[in-house]
């Protein structure tokens, strides 16, 4: 157990192991489909006599929660299910008196299994935390400690790999917690997936990949959740570089504010100029050894605004605290390239994260300023709260000039307009190229992140031109689209996609595997995008 004020990054997650099922194996989790009684292999379903149904409630703790004979007749029959009130709906979790768990899996589709896995992980956490808090409170304790499983088994023999991966995603992300507190955090449990000897090797490999994908989401959440008193631009780039140093094949480079000034990163300097914490630029490179199955070079660029007051065009007070997550795009990019390297995917990938704090002071940039970017383009500033595109423009210009990549994908919490258009669960995707757009949609679909392609409208593009500079930062017209068209100016015609995650990067009301706060959205899509590219 740990009790620290600021959690180390990454935070610990539940762990999953794949093991071969044998005669001694007992599954601790009974999946229940919508409207169906649970199927428990090898056991007759008897009546409910002798059971002590024990849903999670005010008193989930019986005198002997494991029961006298767990291998005895199966107590979970249709009557018992009815008695519990279980319907099989995704998210239903019942702790049974014999120590097992009944888990609603809906229709058993991957989307359901992600939600079910997360619900089970949260139920385990809730129980463990109840025990920890009562233990630390020093109050009268029951003579028998409640059952907090540190290890439990789910029988997945015969399940398609995609279903197992979805369950694993849910389990890991449901166990994710970011908390700055002196309250003790209980240790994370282990879940064993029981399978047959013939399926063991393949499932182990699939689950290892799913685990890396989920870890990417969780790390992106950790970075975005970190409060901005800790998370300066320097903290963000140095933390990412330290994590990269642990992964073979990844290299990192950091630009200080002095070097940014020498090399003309005017957008990053303008945005960071109002803060006492200097801006920075991070570059991470993954260069696979051996043959590449995709010869292209992909550059990922993520907005790294570590706090956004709006600058001189200051934001209203309500909701400003959420602006600590305004580097969620950068977090997704950092987490994704770490996972790409850990999975040793055979494609060259570079990540760029321009990091700055958009603050208010006498040295802050102003509406009406003209800023010169890395590639020499000048921008007429209209609103200092449109700072994301200012830092991204420098990074895109750097990528085009210095790296000449085949593909550029940028990710940013960029516009409130995209929240209005698509809500809080769907990312906006713009692409210069139909093939790249299809790949992003396919990747998102496979990992459970939803994207909707938005148009790059010609008549809006005309408004990006400025009379007194090359481009206007805040052209009139639809905000999400005009922001994308502003960025397109800097891509110089290279194949490019822009992901606006202003909506789904944050969550107010948890759903499925997504918890409250920073969601880590886009990290899995980016990793899967590379997997999809390299699998062809």
Interacting residues toward Zn ion by CB under 5 A: 308, 385, 387
Cα dihedral value 382, 385, 388, 389, nearest 10: -10
Phi, psi of 382 (to 5 degrees): -110, -30
Measured from the CB of residue 483, what is the shortest distance to Zn ion in angstroms? Answer: 11
Measured from the CB of residue 359, what is the shortest distance to Zn ion in angstroms? Answer: 11
Q: With contact defined as beta carbons under 8 Å apart, do 367 and 384 qualify?
A: yes
Minimum CB distance to Zn ion smaller for 315 or for 492: 315
Minimum CB distance to Zn ion smaller for 92 or for 387: 387
Phi, psi of 198 (to 5 degrees): -70, -30
315 labelled catalytic: yes
Measured from the CB of residue 272, what is the shortest distance to Zn ion in angstroms? Answer: 13
CA separation, residue 412 to residues 105, 124, 238, 529 (Å): 33, 34, 20, 17
Measured from the CB of residue 313, what is the shortest distance to Zn ion in angstroms? Answer: 8
492 labelled catalytic: no
- List the one residue out of 241, 258, 251 whose CA is nearest residue 286: 251
Measured from the CB of residue 310, what is the shortest distance to Zn ion in angstroms? Answer: 5
Minimum CB distance to Zn ion smaller for 285 or for 387: 387
Q: What gap in Å lies between CA 143 and CA 320, rounded to an integer?
A: 47
Sign of CA dihedral 167, 515, 521, 277: negative
Instruction: Read off the tokens for 435.
Output: 């093939």
Measured from the CB of residue 315, what is the shortest distance to Zn ion in angstroms? Answer: 7
Measured from the CB of residue 323, what is the shortest distance to Zn ion in angstroms? Answer: 8
Minimum CB distance to Zn ion smaller for 199 or for 387: 387
Minimum CB distance to Zn ion smaller for 217 or for 325: 325
Residue burial 163-177, b: 16+ Cβ < 10 Å; e: rest = bbbbbbbbbbbbbbb
Minimum CB distance to Zn ion smaller for 215 or for 359: 359
Neighbours of 181 (CB within 10 A): 12
Minimum CB distance to Zn ion smaller for 385 or for 449: 385
User: Based on the number of CB atoms within 10 Å of its own CB, is 364 exposed (0-12), middle (13-18) or buried (19 or more)?
Assistant: buried
Measured from the CB of residue 505, what is the shortest distance to Zn ion in angstroms? Answer: 13
Q: Please tell me whether residue 296 adopts helix, strand or coil conformation.
A: coil
Helix (H) or strand (E) holding 95: strand 93-95
- List the one residue out of 404, 405, 402, 386 whose CA is nearest residue 487: 386
The answer to whether the peptide bond before residue 244 is cis (omega within 30 degrees of 0) is: no
Instruction: Read off the tokens for 128.
Output: 């463990």
Measured from the CB of residue 326, what is the shortest distance to Zn ion in angstroms? Answer: 7
- List the one residue out of 101, 133, 139, 107 whose CA is nearest residue 120: 101
Minimum CB distance to Zn ion smaller for 155 or for 387: 387
Minimum CB distance to Zn ion smaller for 240 or for 414: 414
Contacts of residue 267, Cβ cutoff 8 Å, sequence gap at least 6:
354, 371, 373, 374, 379, 390, 391, 392, 393, 394
- Of the residues 221, 303, 389, 419, only one is catalytic, namely 389
Query: Would you give the DSSP letter of residue 400?
Result: I
- Of the residues 315, 425, 450, 492, only one is catalytic, namely 315
Q: With contact defined as beta carbons under 8 Å apart, do 471 and 389 qualify?
A: no
Query: Would you give the DSSP letter of residue 285?
Result: E
- List the one residue out of 30, 364, 11, 12 whose CA is nearest residue 222: 11
Tokens 């200097």 correspond to what residue? 278
Residue in the shown chain whose Cβ atom is closest to Zn ion = 385
Q: What gap in Å lies between CA 371 and CA 271, rounded to an integer?
A: 10
Neighbours of 41 (CB within 10 A): 9
Residues designated catalytic? 315, 389
């Amino acid at each position: 157990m740990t009790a620290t004020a600021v959690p180390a990054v990454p935070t610990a997650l539940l762990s999953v192991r794949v093991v071969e099922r044998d005669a001694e194996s007992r599954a601790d989790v009974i999946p229940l489909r919508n409207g169906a009684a649970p199927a428990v292999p090898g056991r007759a379903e008897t009546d409910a006599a002798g059971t002590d149904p024990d849903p999670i409630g005010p008193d989930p703790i019986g005198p002997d929660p494991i029961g006298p004979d767990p291998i005895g007749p199966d107590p979970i029959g249709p009557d018992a299910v009815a008695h519990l009130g279980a319907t099989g709906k995704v998210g239903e979790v019942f702790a049974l008196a014999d120590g097992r768990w009944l888990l609603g899996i809906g229709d058993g589709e991957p989307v359901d299994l992600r939600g079910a896995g997360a619900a089970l992980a949260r139920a385990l956490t809730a129980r463990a935390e109840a025990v920890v808090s009562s233990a630390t409170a020093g109050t009268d304790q029951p003579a028998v400690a409640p059952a907090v499983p540190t290890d439990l088994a789910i029988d997945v023999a015969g399940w398609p790999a995609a279903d197992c991966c979805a369950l694993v995603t849910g389990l890991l992300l449901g166990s994710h917690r970011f908390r700055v507190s002196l309250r003790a955090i209980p240790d994370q449990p282990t879940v064993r997936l029981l399978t047959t000897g013939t399926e063991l090797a393949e499932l182990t490999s699939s689950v290892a990949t799913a685990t890396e994908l989920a870890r990417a989401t969780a790390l992106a959440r950790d970075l975005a959740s970190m409060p901005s008193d800790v998370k300066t631009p320097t903290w963000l780039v140095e933390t990412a570089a330290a994590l990269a140093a642990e992964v073979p094949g990844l290299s990192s480079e950091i630009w200080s504010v002095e070097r940014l000034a020498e090399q003309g990163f005017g957008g990053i300097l303008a945005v960071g100029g109002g803060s006492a914490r200097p801006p920075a630029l991070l570059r991470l490179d993954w260069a696979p050894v051996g043959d590449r199955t995709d010869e292209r070079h992909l550059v990922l660029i993520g907005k790294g605004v570590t706090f956004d007051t709006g600058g001189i065009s200051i934001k209203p007070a309500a909701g400003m605290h959420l602006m600590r997550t305004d580097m969620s795009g950068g977090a997704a990019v950092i987490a994704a390239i770490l996972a790409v390297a850990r999975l040793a995917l055979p494609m060259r990938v570079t990540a760029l994260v321009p990091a700055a704090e958009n603050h208010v002071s006498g040295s802050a940039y102003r509406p009406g300023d003209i800023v010169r970017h890395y590639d020499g383009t000048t921008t007429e500033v209209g609103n200092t709260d449109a700072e994301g595109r200012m830092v991204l423009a420098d990074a895109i210009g750097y990528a085009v000039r210095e790296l000449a990549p085949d593909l550029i994908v940028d990710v940013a919490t960029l516009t409130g307009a995209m929240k209005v258009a698509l809500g809080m669960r769907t990312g906006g995707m713009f692409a210069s190229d139909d093939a790249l757009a299809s790949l992003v949609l396919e990747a998102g679909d496979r990992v459970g992140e939803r994207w909707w392609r938005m148009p790059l409208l010609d008549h809006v593009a005309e408004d990006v031109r400025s009379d007194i500079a090359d481009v206007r930062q805040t052209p009139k017209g639809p905000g999400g689209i005009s922001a994308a068209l502003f960025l397109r100016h800097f891509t110089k015609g290279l194949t490019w996609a822009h992901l606006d995650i202003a909506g789904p990067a944050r969550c107010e009301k948890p759903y499925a595997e997504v918890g409250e706060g920073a969601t880590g959205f886009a990290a899995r899509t980016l990793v899967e995008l590379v997997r999809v590219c390299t699998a062809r």
